[in-house]
Structure 1
């Protein structure tokens, strides 16, 4: 491990992948939310250079096909398999989990990258507020349903990993309201519905708490991490409905372009680097549950509400109640 380079703000996902090629070799990885011009796509592309298999998911079959083609064009030897997955639908999650479980191929890493960034309040067919469904309920249920498969990939030299792409938005609000009604659906008249960024703040807080709870419950059998990828101009900031919120926060200018005075922006490649670090860097082996920023542990940037194991446990139990089944690790 002493021979590994130092990763930081400017490191790209491809640089991390190349440096950790021996860790990635032979591994099978699942990445959710992989549309072109997004972090998930770049994460999958970089990992595919060295992995045995990368499974990519998305709810739009055509965009998923384009992602597969783009990865294979850039990495001709890549073994990439697409799965249409709508994380807002628990039925879709169950169907995809069943397909994953029927294959004999092991699963070494899950990278929960997908998020609802539409900026529109909506309720799913299951009766859940859509952002929380896509960002937390869906990933929670998917992890639960394929957890035994993930566990089975463990060996003397490898512990499976689960990565949650969160955001610095966890520190930009009052904290997640851990009550059942709010978690399920705060309602069309709620502050979260009127300002989608506040719900995003809650869902990204849920990501961090889920990672913390999973790390604790797994007791060394699985490693879990959450992270802030950085401020990046991805397709997530190009939705018409989300642009006003981002302008009010100063993230975007009046013309919808990145406000360079908001902070230091990363390229998509730099933003995806921390995803690859969380999935494979052996220097994190004894840091399960950690929150990462700029490719390194940064727990001090995690607000108190997202560092509290009692909150992680409460969220876990509330989520079990919402989806109607226990997730026993």
Structure 2
């Protein structure tokens, strides 16, 4: 393992994928949220160079086709499969998961990349707050339903992985209000707070998934870095990011040196998905392509909070997420 390179803030997803090309070879990977010019797209693109199968997802068929076309234009040999997935709808998640479970292939890596735009209060079809539904509850259900596919990939020499894209913003959450998670209260809602809570939920879910899986599945959460993607430029995101000093009064990056390119932003995801050096750190949080548990907030470092979130989310989806002994 000492032959693998050292990664950093500046490392690109292409560099990580090249380093782990032999590990990626033969793997089947599902990436949520793969629209063009996003982190998920670049993640899928670099993995598709070496993987057996890359499943790309989105709720818009036309945009999903554009993603597939862009990847195949660069990598004609890429094996891409499109999956319509609306994470804001529990019924839609169940439908998409049923389709995946009908396929013959096992699933080696599930990358929960998708997130909702930071926006005003909005209820989903299930009467859940849209950000937490799309960024946590939907991915939780998807992961639960695809776990048999992941376990089918387990062998004496390989352990499947689940990756959750979080953010350093998780540390700005004072603590998830478990009482309103399934019963949102518009009067208590703040768009940036909902974003922070969602990212905190991602960290907690990775911790608890790894604990409950007992080595059969490895889960990780990560901060991809500050990347000036479309999600930073829509709805209420600019005002919220201005308030914490990330964007200037014109909605542009205040300090270019802290921002990453999209290829740099996708790099930590690929590390979490394939780096063999982190196998012994299940549930860990990564930043700049390396383990960074010291950056995890006190709330997200408390195992009791991880257990509580798991149980509350099970109640919301109406299903137990358990690993048979």
Q: 2:303 aligned with 1:309, yes or no? A: yes
- Partner of 2:92, secondary structure, is helix
Aligned to 1:324: 318
Q: 2:286 aligned with 1:292, yes or no? A: yes
- Partner of 2:187, secondary structure, is coil
Q: Specify which of 213, 220, 223 is matched with residue 218 of structure 2.
A: 223
Aligned to 1:132: 132
User: After the TM superposition, which residues 23-42 of structure 1 pair with which residues of structure 2 at under 5 Å, given as runs?
Assistant: 23-42=23-42
**How many Å apart are 1:219 and its aligned residue?**
0.3
Q: 2:206 aligned with 1:206, yes or no? A: no
- Partner of 1:216, secondary structure, is helix
Identify the range of structure 1 (230-239 vs 13-22) with the bigger mean alpha-carbon deviation: 230-239
Task: Tell me the number of residue pairs that the alignment of Structure 1 and Structure 2 aligns.
Answer: 323
Q: 2:41 aligned with 1:47, yes or no? A: no
> 2:9·2:289 contact (CA, 8 Å) conserved in 1?
yes
> 1:38·1:236 contact (CA, 8 Å) conserved in 2?
no
Q: Specify which of 227, 238, 243 is matched with residue 243 of structure 1.
A: 238
Q: Distance in 2 between matches of 1:253 and 1:224?
A: 35
Aligned to 2:261: 267
> 1:40·1:113 contact (CA, 8 Å) conserved in 2?
yes
The two structures have a TM-score, normalised by structure 1, of 0.96
Q: Distance in 1 between matches of 2:36 and 2:253?
A: 19
Q: Distance in 1 between matches of 2:183 and 2:60?
A: 25
**How many Å apart are 1:243 and its aligned residue?**
1.7
**How many Å apart are 1:314 and its aligned residue?**
0.5
- Partner of 2:111, secondary structure, is strand
User: After the TM superposition, which residues 8-23 of structure 1 pair with which residues of structure 2 at under 5 Å, given as runs?
Assistant: 8-23=8-23
Q: Distance in 2 between matches of 1:266 and 1:306?
A: 25
Q: Distance in 2 between matches of 1:268 and 1:175?
A: 29
The two structures have a TM-score, normalised by structure 2, of 0.97
- Partner of 1:146, secondary structure, is helix
Q: Distance in 1 between matches of 2:183 and 2:59?
A: 22
Unaligned runs of 5+ in 2: none
Identify the range of structure 1 (154-163 vs 232-241) with the bigger mean alpha-carbon deviation: 232-241
**How many Å apart are 1:120 and its aligned residue?**
2.5
Structure 1, residues 234-267: CA drift from partner, whole Å, max 9, x if none? 1211213322212222222222221116x61111
Q: Distance in 2 between matches of 1:6 and 1:311?
A: 33
User: After the TM superposition, which residues 42-191 of structure 1 pair with which residues of structure 2 at under 5 Å, given as runs?
Assistant: 42-177=42-177, 179-180=178-179, 182-190=180-188
Unaligned runs of 5+ in 1: none
Q: Distance in 2 between matches of 1:149 and 1:121?
A: 35
> 2:128·2:184 contact (CA, 8 Å) conserved in 1?
no
Identify the range of structure 1 (85-94 vs 165-174) with the bigger mean alpha-carbon deviation: 165-174
> 2:174·2:299 contact (CA, 8 Å) conserved in 1?
no
Q: Distance in 1 between matches of 2:165 and 2:290?
A: 14
Q: Distance in 2 between matches of 1:92 and 1:234?
A: 26
**How many Å apart are 1:272 and its aligned residue?**
0.4
- Partner of 2:16, secondary structure, is helix
Displaced runs of 4 or more, over 4 A? none
Q: Distance in 2 between matches of 1:259 and 1:81?
A: 39
Q: Distance in 2 between matches of 1:51 and 1:135?
A: 26
Q: Distance in 1 between matches of 2:39 and 2:99?
A: 25
Q: Distance in 2 between matches of 1:174 and 1:285?
A: 30
**How many Å apart are 1:105 and its aligned residue?**
1.1
Q: Distance in 1 between matches of 2:315 and 2:103?
A: 29
Distance 1:197 1:101, change over 3 A: same
